[in-house]
Chains A and B, each alone.
Chain A
Amino acid sequence: MKAVILGCGRVGSLLASLLSENGWQVAVVDSDPESFAGLSKGFSGVRVNGRITDDDTLRLAGLESADVVVVLTSDDLSNLMAGQVALHRFGRHKVLVRVRDPIKAKAYRELGIQTICPTDLELELVRRELGVQPKR
């Protein structure tokens, strides 16, 4: 399996390392070359330094042949744009996009983009810990 991970922050670097150590072919993209220091020693994938909203960068990372694309930078708007590029321009089927803003996460989910909202997830975990009923 081949994965392209856009954003090499905490989650991105851990995910890239994990997949690589499990035999996946991985390419990770970040605009900050220092972010690659977060990858594990066992990471044997490709590091691409560039903007995730740039077509050429994505092509360099091998988006054309990726089975999975995961978009994980800290900028919702770049993530949403890159996610749509992966879906529509590169025709990738499995694209996961991190969107911190719950409103945008929901709106784009309705557009057919698989968004992951850390805000909703955190809220859900805390809510369960406190034994409070979910909002209806």
Chain B
Amino acid sequence: MRQYLLLRIAQLVPALFLASIAIWALIYLLPGDPAIAILGPNATPEQLQALREQLGLNQPAPLQYLGWLGRVARGDFGISYQTGLPVLQLIGLRAIATVQLGTMAFVVSMLVGVTLGVIAAARPTSLAARLVGAYNSLTLALPSFWLGLLLILLFGVWLKILPPASGFIPIWLDPLGTLRVSILPIATLASYTSGIVARFVRAAMLDVLGADYVRTARAKGVAEPRVVWRHALRNALLPTVTVLGLQFGAFIGGAVVTEGVFNYPGLGSLVLSSVVSRDYTVLQGAILLIVAAFTLVNLGVDLLYAVLDPRVQYG
């Protein structure tokens, strides 16, 4: 197992290397000139040229890339064109915000999704199951920005019980405040994912509930709730973990729309604003880190299999 772990970590290096080339190249190829973005449309050609020289934008592409890679390897992600702040610092703050929101949304969507999926599978013909089915369809169909806006309108404007816009409040400073401010973005983020998880868990549970070993558990006299929540769910979670892993990755890097709607200072909105302002250094750093996080999450999911399923042996 240790061998496997070392091998997988070692595999991260070439993966990230390839990812870095792809990221850098894509961003380099984006239309638009950062010099203009920084100095504005009224800058003179000489000023633009001088800035480009300063930023090293006139060098051939491979040299720019290698230069960047070398600096990144030393931990120097450069300076944001727009703000002048070190990129790492900028990303760092945003990352914490996103991780906080993403983790909370992940936990919520997992709890809701698994519970709904189990209920729908344990009593397939009941009213509850049909409601879960309706919930799944609804969450799949609702675009997140629309849902977000609706929630803001309902709770923030009409009912006035929750703040309409949210900022980032670290949970360790003010838990209650964090919750007030995060409920709506969490609900928006989690709705789509909880629907996916519920559907997945329901299908896996239906499969498992017909298995021979579930029949054995009932034949032993095990009470039905324990049969469902312990014997069956443990097995149904095995394929579900994959889906959960992918969703977690999506929360970290993909919450762009939700962050936009709620004006939440996370990685997603950082990426969005950097694209608009052609802030290449920030973009490159942010995306590289998101890719690294995603890969690590995938590794974590694979390792989780070995923990959950005794039949899985690595190495």
Q: Are A and B physically bound partners?
A: no
